[in-house]
Structure 1
């Protein structure tokens, strides 16, 4: 079975479909025609289309990975920890959850979550995955694991044998790896961007080592790949639908897994992967498609005047307008990548660059160098300190016991027409998991789209849309007191400081755009989240 696309209640006009057919877009895309997105995008596009070949070119990895997994398991090393961000972590997470095999994904700087990932070191292998080789989160995690292995009594050679590295040729990480004596190094195709890398070494290496059948995944993608040059192939249909919805004013794509009964066991986590692909690819030059990952098909936010519902893994439901995309995971990866490239052409943007991603990173480095700025809360209510910028708290009386509720109401009221609210949680994804419930709770109180992202990983995905997309967002940032911090070895900062600097850097980027921002700092994380969820109930 390959990919199948069904559409309910959305007209795809000839003004969208016609130019794609007349310009022979399917065949030109498969031929890697870098001119498809205009002259300004051509230089970047020319070195970012290698993902089209991956179903075939990644085949050579399958036997090598099977041998490496057997070697590791034979030595009792059966726990895989993946240190990676954005495109380096989201695809392996979906692959392993879909396959039902365990993979520890460490895509955070939260010290509690980093410490938890260091359990069971005697059976742990660490996959360090970074395209650029200079990602601060991944480098910090690598340093911490080296120190943890040393503290456990391993010598330098034994430590090196606990690492597998995935990076681009010539990156700083490839040089570091040689000095470390890593067990294995996989150099990925440099002509594949991070968010299009699901079927490359970035997606396949950690997944195969964890026990997923990556050969079957590539076969699923190949079944679709042979169709992609044809007019009206399913991936082209999907890209056309996304573009037509945008042109019709439906620039929010609500993503859910499964049918009308809610999320099934298949393709779990796919929405998070598709979110970074679509948001980072299209959110620029003041326009873009905003993905909204839903808990189920009938969750709050599945409909609205600016919303297209997208259901992955089944046909479109009765709710209109909607698009259903059926098919196995490998075909879904390739199909959505192709569709996003097509939608980029319809939107008139370059789907392969990310011009605003570095801004928060640069702000973070500045804060790490200069120190965290002193900020005083506008109020402290229970376990929550309340801060605001962009005028969000102007005229709000925070002195009463329901001050948090009033602050949230003010934030919701600040969302402009056709705008959205983004919840950004710089917390522990495991221990503070209840924070995810805030998305649906806030969506019930608002007529606008509400998204949720864990920091700092969203900086590598929707963070691009926040800064480069339409400036109609309002933002709720959550931070919390660190109960147990962890120093980053050989660096002048801890993980807690790095996490706080990343949150502060992102606040500055949004403040510079004069976006309404409510920052809630939890002086006790569990109590603060309980208080916040109770306020919204």
Structure 2
């Protein structure tokens, strides 16, 4: 941070001190964000997870021991957004401890990805976790019905309930179904916790227990963060890391540095996906927002616009981005370094970021606990599905360009897909951003192609370029895309199923299906495309029929120079 950046943060701390934000937050004062208490007073339960969660650990321990005794080896979590992202962090950061269960998270409606996951399971040794706060999330329930019926073909019917457990709110549809279908266990979470703030609740702790995280130690670390975050004296030397972080995020955003770009030690990379949802869905509304940029390919410091604020989560011993952060600071970019002594310090980071996000939203003047624009995409998707069931097709829109491999929608009179993209982005420059929305199978090859395109577009425009897989991003950055100031330009990829499409059973135990996963995925893409257009956003869609990676890479201009990036520190690693 240079002197100017430090001054902004110190002035913001003084403002927070003067307006008594910390004691008011802990007193559940809804006027920090709104004159009305709606979706605030019943959404602050995350402040108190470390008070009640230790009393539930005996239940989690008993669950894990029972599964181990019965020789279960695999856990599959079916969930979206706040139900899936923290579990993914625990699996990727902590791995699987000896004797515990491997955890796979399925948060997609892509039929090729679901098929690949389904074919690698030993159903006799697998427990399925159906995880949804509302108890009715369309993706989660579609996956639930599919895997429940798959179990009917793999296991004796009277054993199936023992292979399922649920995490949900009291009174939800899922809670009722768990009882009806005789699940092994039903875990009811505190309903006063929103999904994206639920990492330290049962939604995060149960999956963490399955992979062998020491939850006593983890929650002790989190409790220390909670204690520090109650410090009310806010000075540059204060011992309240959450307030300092919130002040930094808010101050930078208010001074035009609203593209918060995460550099994370390789072991912590998945934490960025969790914090992406937290920040984007909390702040992106009412014409405002903070854009998180995660998993971005490293570039030359000159490639980044002046709207960037870099945060480096640095795990002790992993020095991967040390040289880059020095180069960025030399270039005048603000860089905040958050050192972690070990993996269990993530417990503190979960809480610091939750509280910091709430503080930053206060500074921006937005409501951090609602998501007013999310329902529009859902409603449009439901309309498309209803039309599909009636007419047998999702859309009759003619492409603006097509050949045997690609169809292009959203720009007229174009001679080729790459020309269409260049015309679409002709005037892109900071503070605009480009969002790649990929309703595609997740494979290493496709991801590498998308990341290569992402880096090329940043190099060409100096814009922040994000990448989100659909439908996951709808539960993460989707709110911000439609609720912020309108600086986003959206490049959407859809595709035909590369293998056989998968029917979604209409009912548990029934083979009848009026919809396939590929249909649902395309309906979600088209629904979000229309929701963006309704909000005045610009959208260009490429529908890929085959050779997905090749057709993605063919969009990159041939004459674009390569990036000259600072080398990673030899002591680091990827």
TM-score, scaled relative to structure 1: 0.91
Kept in 1, the 8 Å contact 2:261–2:310? The answer is: yes
Q: Are 1:424 and 2:420 matched, yes or no? A: no
TM-superposed CA distance for 1:210, in Å, is: 2.8
Flag structure 2 segments of 5+ consecutive residues without an equivalent: 97-101, 235-239, 317-321, 389-393, 507-512, 559-574
Q: Are 1:433 and 2:434 matched, yes or no? A: no
SS of corresponding position for 1:475: strand
TM-superposed CA distance for 1:279, in Å, is: 0.3
Kept in 2, the 8 Å contact 1:257–1:296? The answer is: no
In 1, Cα distance between equivalents of 2:302 and 2:151: 45
Q: 1:261 maps to what in 2? A: none
Rate the CA distance shift 1:281–1:363 in 2: closer, same or farther, 3 A.
same
Q: 1:128 maps to what in 2? A: 130
Q: Are 1:530 and 2:564 matched, yes or no? A: no
Rate the CA distance shift 1:476–1:210 in 2: closer, same or farther, 3 A.
same
Kept in 1, the 8 Å contact 2:303–2:462? The answer is: no
TM-superposed CA distance for 1:299, in Å, is: 7.1
In 1, Cα distance between equivalents of 2:380 and 2:211: 36
SS of corresponding position for 2:461: coil
Rate the CA distance shift 1:145–1:404 in 2: closer, same or farther, 3 A.
same
Q: Are 1:357 and 2:374 matched, yes or no? A: yes
Rate the CA distance shift 1:336–1:223 in 2: closer, same or farther, 3 A.
same
In 2, Cα distance between equivalents of 1:199 and 1:9: 36
SS of corresponding position for 1:313: strand
In 1, Cα distance between equivalents of 2:294 and 2:28: 30
TM-superposed CA distance for 1:303, in Å, is: 3.3
Q: 2:12 maps to what in 1? A: 16
Rate the CA distance shift 1:135–1:363 in 2: closer, same or farther, 3 A.
same
TM-superposed CA distance for 1:116, in Å, is: 2.2
TM-superposed CA distance for 1:54, in Å, is: 0.8
Q: 2:94 maps to what in 1? A: 99
In 2, Cα distance between equivalents of 1:303 and 1:493: 44
Q: Residue 450 of structure 1 is aligned with which of 453, 465, 472?
A: 465
Q: 1:223 maps to what in 2? A: 224
In 2, Cα distance between equivalents of 1:299 and 1:31: 45
TM-superposed CA distance for 1:95, in Å, is: 1.4
Kept in 2, the 8 Å contact 1:422–1:473? The answer is: yes
Which structure 2 residues correspond to residues 52-201 of structure 1 after superposition, within 5 A?
A: 52-101=47-96, 102-118=102-118, 119-120=120-121, 121-155=123-157, 157-201=158-202
Kept in 2, the 8 Å contact 1:286–1:471? The answer is: yes
TM-superposed CA distance for 1:314, in Å, is: 5.4
Q: Residue 32 of structure 2 is aligned with which of 30, 36, 39?
A: 36
TM-superposed CA distance for 1:173, in Å, is: 0.8
TM-superposed CA distance for 1:429, in Å, is: 1.7
Q: Are 1:489 and 2:489 matched, yes or no? A: no
Kept in 1, the 8 Å contact 2:79–2:130? The answer is: yes
Flag structure 1 segments of 5+ consecutive residues without an equivalent: 1-5, 259-263
Kept in 1, the 8 Å contact 2:405–2:545? The answer is: yes
Rate the CA distance shift 1:137–1:8 in 2: closer, same or farther, 3 A.
farther
Q: 2:525 maps to what in 1? A: 503
Q: Residue 248 of structure 1 is aligned with which of 255, 274, 292?
A: 255
Kept in 2, the 8 Å contact 1:27–1:228? The answer is: no
In 1, Cα distance between equivalents of 2:106 and 2:16: 40
Kept in 2, the 8 Å contact 1:109–1:496? The answer is: yes
SS of corresponding position for 1:445: helix
Runs in 1 of length 4+ with deviation above 6 angstroms?
A: 6-9, 299-302
Rate the CA distance shift 1:405–1:236 in 2: closer, same or farther, 3 A.
same
Kept in 1, the 8 Å contact 2:305–2:431? The answer is: no
Q: 1:293 maps to what in 2? A: 294
Which structure 2 residues correspond to residues 332-347 of structure 1 after superposition, within 5 A?
A: 332-347=349-364
SS of corresponding position for 2:5: coil
In 2, Cα distance between equivalents of 1:280 and 1:170: 25
Kept in 1, the 8 Å contact 2:259–2:309? The answer is: yes
TM-superposed CA distance for 1:199, in Å, is: 0.5
Q: 1:322 maps to what in 2? A: 335
| Residues matched between the structures, number | 513
Q: Are 1:520 and 2:548 matched, yes or no? A: no
SS of corresponding position for 1:350: coil
Kept in 1, the 8 Å contact 2:434–2:463? The answer is: yes
